[in-house]
């Protein structure tokens, strides 16, 4: 008779242990997922600000740039592509396809912006324009914030992905469909170029 | 009732809770024992069937009692500890459970900005860091909660209905209610409640599992399991019932108190009453959708579950009672809410963004030019504000309308660059660094170079651009700036925080001498963020008497006496003025320490220990600090901020010290 009670107690402990293990593993994954989604929201705010700045920048530059107007069009186009990609990514942060296309769209935008800045070097009036100076200053600071927020996002994606893959939480991740999150990567060379929009 | 009495009460309530909890568990153990005894008897009778008479039925079977006790206690304990561990993350953990989405501090949505502004003002007014703000997107109803262990890890969550349907002053009433929970120590009590009820709930859950799994087996011996399961389910359910009863009883009381405090903060009963009326008028009321609602409903602003049939089980007083308690003019009707209300509120929020709101209160500052001059212009011609020592303590943890107005104006008068910087994680890092830069240009450049080297060149540049604005801001803008910036700093990733923290440490130590105020500022930043980024646990009360803490108090008071006094006699006098307020035992060793013996390291250790004292000790200590600093009759502005900073490290937020003349005008 005492045996039954002991068995019952053992069963109870095991059951509680299992429930606790599953629930806490699941909750941890949810917490980490929320964390990287929140981190993405930080990027999103800055990206939007940048997409708002670029048309103004193009508009200001238009008045001065006589040749190579296709550079301006390229910037506008790249901005629109990036804008759409960011919208898709914001709807589902961390989704592999969305993040990859955002990454390449941002790389493209950074490239065209860099070219615009190079072109504008040959227009001293444009460089001296008060509006242009403010806009590019604002753009630089937004780029800085984006790269900072991107670092935070990538850090939290790494933590989430690691937790997703290690035993035993990979079992739970598999059962409840926690899909891996994608890093937000902007290609190196252009990325180095882009923040240098200074006119001094 | 003052702040410390509230803290004490919350602390005593927790003890009472633990007592109730133990009683409930003992009752379950005893009941389970009798069930097991009957089962035991039945099985025995079966066993002896046809083999002669069974042994006499014994009521006292210590072996069985022990087994049952170990089983039940084990389950309850494991369950409670597990839940406690799960909620160790504080406010954000609860918000995540409820499906909350963190509102970015730089949000562009007008409704979210309204929410953020209201929370920021309330935080500055009460002197705590800006809590993390969550929106529960899935909840249509009007409701809100505050959760966490301490102001450092507090989170405020509001439902979508709440942001969309409440106007600014109504939202202010709701947020004031939640801040009362933050300041009065209710949040920690609430977290404990969840853990305790969950532990008992585990017994019922296991009973249910046994009932279903054991039923399939044909083995006659195993037949005891489903019966045991049924018994556990019943007992557990009864236990949960009593748990909910305790939950409701504690919660109902605190809700009335929080309503009253909210009106005291905002001095605008119509705001809170309007919010409550909207709940009554709205078809969804305050009902929550989440599965976790029954466990967490005592944390919410309004009743989150269906009205229970049995009145003592209600966690919140009925809405009409709450409205009448604060607004006797209410006509008692709930006309249904228009569909357009959402649009009306949104448009109001939009127009507020364009034109900052005309304050709903008549101005209480009769000074020409408003408060802006006093707040920011450190070097202006106005005479320095005078603060009398005796006016500080009553305000602790009790912000009033005066502080709220002050906070509103303080926030509005901060330079735009600083305000914007405090909301971006990246700029917030630069802002904190800018506050700690040296005045001397050479040293500053060296510091900036090192920041560029250790953190990032972009942050260093930003700190350099912020420096002129920051150094122009008066002393008493520093603590609010930090409290604002902490909200954004929470968005750093763990590696970024580590880097930030190390550079901060270097920056403090870099000038060779460490200023007390600088030191306390960085301590505040790190203390509030440590809960999130490291495994640190919030301090638990460990000291119930003053005796072991006397040396720490002496260190702190000696350090304070040294601030602003250079003359040995003055220092001695300041120290002697403060010491009696400690109310130490007679034989305590109270001797002023020389400057060298109360350096930053010792102060740091002392503050860490003092943070673990019971509220009454903290009260006496803070009183002693106030009188030490104010030994010369007045508290200078810089001294006042030092006091607030030190009180903050002890988890006793002091609202901004509003100069005395204005205090009298308001009264």
Q: DSSP labels for B139-202?
A: --S--EEEE-SSGGG-EEEEEHHHHHH--HHHHHHHHHHHHHHHHTTHHHHHHHHHHHHHHHHH
Distance (Å, rounded) from C-alpha B503 to C-alpha B611?
25
Residue A157: inside a domain: yes
Look at residue B536 and tell me if it is in a domain.
no
Residues of A in contact with B426 (CB under 8 A): 144-145, 148-149
Name the more confident of B664 and B55.
B55
User: Are B260 and B235 within one domain?
Assistant: no
Question: What span, in angstroms and rounded, lies between the C-alpha atoms of B171 and B158?
Answer: 10
Query: What does residue B155 show for φ and ψ, rounded to 5 degrees?
Result: -135, 145
In a domain? residue B463: yes
Residue A64: inside a domain:
yes
Residues of A in contact with B496 (CB under 8 A): 148, 151-152, 155
Q: Please give the DSSP secondary-structure letter assigned to residue B9.
A: H
Q: What is the pLDDT of residue A83?
A: 93
> Which residue, B203, B229, B245, sits at the end of a domain?
B245
Question: Which residues in chain A have Cβ-Cβ distances shorter than 8 Å to B195?
Answer: none
**Is the CB of residue B267 less than 8 Å from the CB of residue B361?**
yes
Please state, in angstroms and rounded to a whole number, the distance separating the CA atoms of residues B423 and B117.
11
| Residues from chain B contacting residue A41 (CB–CB below 8 Å) | 101-102, 104
What does the pLDDT look like over B430-469, one tens digit per residue? 999 998 888 888 888 888 988 888 888 888 888 898 888 8
pLDDT of residue A198: 53
pLDDT at B377 over 50: no
* B234 and B275 assigned to the same domain: no
Alpha carbon separation from B375 to A61, A94, B119, B416 (Å, rounded):
42, 44, 20, 15
Name every residue whose Cβ is closer than 8 Å to that of residue B597 and which is 6 or more positions away in sequence. B555, B558
pLDDT at position A76: 92
Q: Which domain holds residue A125?
A: 24-193
Mean pLDDT, chain B, integer:
79
Any domain includes A124: yes
Question: Which chain B residues have a beta carbon less than 8 Å from that of A12?
Answer: 71, 74-75, 206, 210
Residues B642 and B572 grouped into a single domain: yes
**What is the rounded CA–CA span in Å between residue B164 and residue B177?**
18
The predicted model gives A118-129 an average pLDDT of 84
What CATH number does the domain containing B319 carry?
Answer: 3.30.2010.10
**B579 and B443, same structural domain?**
no
Q: Which residues of A touch B (CB under 8 A)?
A: 1-2, 4-6, 8-9, 11-13, 15-17, 19-20, 23-24, 27, 30-31, 34, 38-39, 41-42, 45-46, 48, 141, 144-145, 147-149, 151-156, 159, 195
CB contact under 8 A, A15 and B82: no
Question: Min CA distance, B29 vs chain A (Å)?
Answer: 13
Q: Identify whether residues B80 and B97 lie together within a single domain.
A: no
A154 pLDDT tier (thresholds 50, 70, 90): very high
Question: Closest-CA residue in chain A for B36?
Answer: A5
CB B131 within 8 A of CB B119: yes
> Tell me, what's the pLDDT at B367?
35
- Whether complex ipTM tops 0.95: no
The answer to the question of residue B643 being in a domain is yes
Q: Are residues B146 and B284 in the same domain?
A: yes
Instruction: Supply the pLDDT for residue A80.
Output: 93
Q: What total number of domains does chain B contain? A: 4
- Give the structural domain span for B122: 92-183+252-326
Interface probe with B: pick from A3, A6, A8, most Cβ of B within 10 Å: A8
CA angle, residues A51, A56, A58, in degrees to nearest 5: 95
CB contact under 8 A, B426 and A6: no
- Most confident residue range from A85-94, B25-34, B514-523: A85-94
Is residue B365 scored above 60 in pLDDT? no
Which band of pLDDT confidence, cut at 50, 70 and 90, is reported for residue B216? low
B102 by DSSP, 3-state: which?
strand
DSSP H or E segment with residue B101? strand B100-102
For B545-582, the pLDDT digits (tens) are 888 888 888 888 888 888 767 788 888 888 888 888 88
Residues B490 and B441 in one domain: yes
Residue A117 has pLDDT above 70, yes or no: yes
CB contact under 8 A, B492 and A13: no
One domain for residues B569 and B465: no
Task: Identify the band that residue B213 occupies on the pLDDT scale cut at 50, 70 and 90.
Answer: low
**Looking at the domain assignment, is residue B212 inside a domain?**
yes
What DSSP assignment string belongs to A7-22? HHHHHHHHHHHHHHHH
Cis peptide before A168, with omega less than 30 degrees from 0?
Answer: yes
Nearest to B263 by CA among B321, B180, B319, B181: B180
User: What is the band of B177 on the pLDDT scale with cuts at 50, 70, 90?
Assistant: very high
B79: nearest CB among A16, A30, A42: A16
Q: Are B152 and B538 in contact (CB under 8 A)?
A: yes
Q: Residues A135-139: what's their mean pLDDT?
A: 87
**Co-location of B36 and B60 in the same domain:** yes
Identify whether B335 is part of a domain: no
Residue A109's pLDDT band (cuts 50, 70, 90): very high
Mind telling me how many Å the CA of A90 is from chain B's nearest CA? 13
Bridge partners of residue B635, in order along the sequence: B387
Nearest to A142 by CA among B489, B496, B427, B487: B427
**Interface size, chain A vs chain B, as Cβ–Cβ contacts under 8 Å:** 113
Q: Which of B326, B343, B372 is the last residue of a domain?
A: B326
Domain boundary among B514, B538, B561: B514
Taking the C-alpha atoms of residue B168 and residue B111, their distance in angstroms, rounded to an integer, is: 9
Closest CB to B426 among A8, A38, A145: A145
pLDDT score recorded for residue A41: 86
Maximum average pLDDT range among B55-69, B267-281, B514-528: B267-281
Q: Are B106 and B166 part of one and the same domain? A: yes
Q: What is the pLDDT of residue B513?
A: 66
* Confidence at residue B570, expressed as pLDDT on a 0 to 100 scale: 85
What is residue B359's predicted lDDT score, i.e. its pLDDT? 44
Question: Who has greater pLDDT, B462 or A13?
Answer: B462
- Whether B373 has a pLDDT exceeding 50, the answer reads no
Among partner residues B67, B96, B202, which is closest to A34 by beta-carbon distance? B96
In this predicted structure, the answer to whether residue B220 has a pLDDT above a threshold of 60 is: no
Say which CATH number the domain at A78 has. 1.20.1440.20
Identify which has the larger pLDDT, B616 or B384. Answer: B616
Domain-embedded: residue B371: no
User: Is A200 within the bounds of a domain?
Assistant: no
- Mean pLDDT lowest for which of A158-172, B504-518, B594-608? B504-518
Q: State the best of A25, A140, A148 to mutate against chain B, taking most chain B CBs within 10 Å.
A: A148
Q: What's the confidence (pLDDT) of residue B376?
A: 37
Cα B236 from chain centroid (whole Å): 32
Global pTM?
0.77
How far apart, in Å, do the first and last CA atoms of chain A sit?
Answer: 89
Please check whether residue B379 lies inside any domain of the structure: no
- Of the residues B112, B178, B255, B639, which is catalytic? B178
What is the structure's pLDDT at B358? Answer: 47
Provide the pLDDT for residue B596: 78
Q: What integer pLDDT is reported at residue A191 of this predicted model?
A: 44
pLDDT of residue B158: 93
Look at residue A169 and tell me if it is in a domain.
yes
Predicted local confidence at residue B361, as pLDDT: 39
Highest-pLDDT range among A170-184, B43-57, B280-294:
A170-184
* Domain co-membership, B63 together with B124: no
Q: Is residue B21 part of a domain?
A: yes
For residue B628, what pLDDT is reported?
87
pLDDT at position B363 is: 36
Residue with the two structure tokens 């460089």:
A127
- Is B178 a known active-site residue? yes
For the cut 70, the answer to whether the pLDDT of residue B486 exceeds it is yes
| Closest Cβ–Cβ partner in A144, A148, A155 for B494 | A155
Contact between B203 and B235 (Cβ < 8 Å): yes
Higher-pLDDT residue of B495, B16: B495
Average pLDDT over residues B215-234: 65
B93-128 residue pLDDT tens: 888 888 888 887 777 788 888 898 899 888 888 888
State whether B493 and A39 contact (CB < 8 Å): yes
What does the pLDDT average to over B603-624? 87
The pLDDT score that the predictor gives to residue B417 is 85
> Which candidate, B408, B509, B504, places its Cα nearest to that of B463?
B504
C-alpha span between B556 and B558 (Å, rounded): 5
pLDDT above 90 covers a percentage of chain B that reads 4
- The whole-number average pLDDT for the span A116-128 is 85
Which percentage of chain B shows pLDDT scores above 70?
86
Domain total of chain A: 1
pLDDT of residue A101: 92
Cα separation, A78 vs A110, in Å, equals: 9
Specify whether B297 is located in the same domain as B423: no
């Amino acid at each position: 008779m005492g045996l039954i009670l002991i068995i019952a107690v053992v069963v109870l402990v095991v059951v509680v242990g299992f429930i606790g293990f599953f629930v806490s593993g699941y909750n941890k994954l949810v917490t980490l997922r929320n964390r990287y989604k929140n981190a993405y929201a930080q990027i999103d705010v800055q990206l939007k600000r940048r997409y708002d700045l670029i048309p103004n920048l193009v508009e200001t530059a238009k008045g001065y740039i006589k040749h190579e107007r296709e550079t301006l069009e390229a910037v506008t186009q790249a901005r629109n592509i990036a804008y759409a990609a960011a919208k898709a990514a914001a709807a589902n942060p961390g989704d592999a396809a969305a993040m990859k296309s955002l990454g390449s769209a941002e790389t493209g935008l950074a490239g065209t912006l860099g070219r615009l800045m190079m072109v504008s070097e040959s227009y001293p009036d444009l460089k001296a324009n008060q509006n242009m100076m403010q806009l590019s200053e604002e753009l630089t600071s937004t780029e800085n914030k984006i790269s900072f927020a991107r670092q935070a996002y990538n850090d939290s994606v790494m933590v989430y992905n690691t937790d997703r893959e290690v035993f035993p939480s990979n079992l739970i991740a598999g059962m409840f469909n926690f899909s891996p999150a994608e890093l937000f990567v902007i290609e190196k060379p252009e990325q180095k170029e882009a923040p240098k929009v200074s006119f001094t | 009732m003052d702040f410390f009495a509230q803290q004490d009460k919350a602390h005593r309530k927790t003890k009472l809770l633990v007592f109730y909890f133990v009683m409930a568990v003992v009752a379950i153990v005893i009941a389970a024992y009798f069930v097991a005894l009957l089962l035991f008897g039945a099985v025995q009778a079966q066993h002896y069937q046809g083999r002669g008479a069974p042994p006499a039925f014994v009521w006292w079977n210590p072996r069985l009692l022990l087994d049952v006790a170990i089983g039940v206690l084990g389950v309850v304990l494991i369950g409670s500890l597990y839940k406690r561990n799960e909620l160790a993350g504080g406010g954000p953990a609860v918000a995540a459970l409820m499906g909350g989405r963190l509102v970015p501090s730089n949000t562009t949505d007008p409704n979210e900005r309204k929410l953020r502004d209201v929370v920021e003002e309330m935080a500055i007014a009460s002197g705590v860091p800006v809590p993390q703000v969550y929106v529960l997107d899935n909840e249509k109803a009007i409701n809100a909660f505050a959760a966490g262990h301490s102001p450092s890890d507090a989170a405020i969550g509001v439902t979508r209905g709440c942001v969309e349907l409440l106007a600014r002053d109504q939202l202010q009433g709701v947020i004031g209610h939640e801040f009362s929970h933050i300041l009065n120590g209710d949040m920690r009590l609430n977290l404990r409640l969840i853990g305790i009820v969950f532990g008992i709930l585990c017994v019922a859950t296991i009973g249910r599992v046994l009932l279903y799994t054991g039923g399939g087996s044909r083995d006659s011996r195993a037949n005891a399991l489903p019966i045991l399961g049924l018994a556990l389910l019943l007992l557990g359910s009864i236990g949960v019932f009593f748990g909910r009863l305790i939950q409701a009883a504690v919660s109902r009381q605190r809700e009335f108190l929080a309503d009253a405090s909210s009106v005291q903060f905002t001095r605008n009963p119509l705001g809170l009453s309007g919010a409550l009326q909207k709940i009554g008028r709205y078809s969804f009321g305050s009902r929550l959708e989440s599965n976790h609602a029954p466990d967490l409903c005592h944390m919410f602003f309004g009743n989150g579950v269906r009205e229970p049939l049995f009145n003592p089980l209600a966690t919140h007083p009925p809405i009409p009672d709450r409205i009448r308690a604060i607004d006797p003019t209410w006509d008692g009707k709930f006309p249904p809410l228009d569909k357009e209300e959402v649009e009306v509120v949104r448009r109001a929020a939009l127009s507020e963004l364009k034109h900052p709101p005309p304050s709903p209160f008549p101005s209480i500052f009769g000074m020409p030019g408003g408060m802006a001059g006093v707040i920011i212009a450190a070097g202006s011609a106005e005479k320095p504000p005078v603060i009398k020592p005796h006016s500080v303590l009553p305000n602790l943890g009790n912000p009033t309308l005066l502080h709220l107005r002050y906070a509103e104006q303080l926030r509005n008068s901060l330079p735009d660059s600083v305000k914007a910087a405090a909301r971006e994680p990246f700029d917030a890092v630069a802002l904190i660094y800018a506050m700690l830069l040296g005045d001397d240009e050479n040293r500053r450049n060296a510091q900036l170079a090192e920041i560029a080297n250790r953190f990032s060149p972009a942050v260093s540049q930003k700190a350099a651009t912020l420096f002129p604005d920051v150094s122009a801001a008066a002393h008493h803008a520093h603590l609010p700036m930090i409290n604002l910036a902490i909200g954004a700093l929470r968005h750093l990733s763990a590696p970024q925080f580590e880097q930030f923290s190390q550079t901060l440490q270097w920056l403090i130590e870099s000038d060779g001498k460490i200023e007390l105020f600088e030191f306390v500022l960085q301590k505040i930043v790190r203390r509030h963020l440590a809960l999130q980024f490291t495994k640190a646990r919030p301090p638990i009360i460990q000291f119930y008497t003053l005796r072991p803490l006397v040396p720490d108090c002496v260190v702190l008071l000696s350090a304070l006496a040294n601030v602003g006094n250079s003359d040995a006699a003055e220092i001695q006098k300041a120290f002697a003025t403060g010491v009696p307020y400690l109310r130490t035992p007679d034989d305590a060793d109270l001797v002023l320490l020389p400057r060298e013996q109360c350096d930053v390291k010792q102060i740091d250790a002392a503050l860490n220990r003092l943070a673990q004292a019971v509220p009454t000790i903290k009260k006496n200590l803070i009183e002693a600090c106030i009188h030490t600093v104010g030994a010369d009759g007045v508290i200078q502005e810089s001294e006042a901020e030092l006091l607030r900073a030190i009180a903050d490290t002890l988890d006793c937020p002091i609202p901004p010290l509003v100069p005395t003349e204005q205090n009298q005008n308001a009264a």
